[in-house]
Amino acid sequence: MEENIVTLVDEDGLEIQFEVIMTLEAQEKEYAILMPLDENDDEEAYIFRMEEELDGEYAIVPIEDDEEYENVVAVYHTLMQEEGLE
């Protein structure tokens, strides 16, 4: 199993595999940019907040706050521009 592949369960109980494209930090929190492995998807990336749990593992949490989401997108675009990828 590849280390950069995670499986999430959607609201219908279906398991979906995602590749972790990158992780980044914004406003002292860690985020993961995930891309679905399913070729039928529209190639839209998803952003999740990574929260460390008591056992040292990380939970991936959806971002529900629009301002938080926009801040992460801005950091992502800045990083892509610095890398010359955008």
Q: What is the 3-state secondary structure (H, E, C) of the chain?
A: CCCCEEEEECCCCCEEEEEEEEEEEECCEEEEEEEECCCCCCCCCEEEEEEECCCCCEEEEECCCHHHHHHHHHHHHHHHHHCCCC
* Confidence check: pLDDT of 7 > 80: yes
Supply the pLDDT for residue 40: 64
Task: Read off the pLDDT of residues 29-74 as tens digits, 9 standing for 90 and up.
Answer: 999 999 988 766 566 889 999 998 999 888 899 999 999 999 999 9
How does residue 23 score in pLDDT terms, banded at 50, 70 and 90?
very high
> In this predicted structure, what is the pLDDT of residue 1?
47
The model's pTM is 0.79
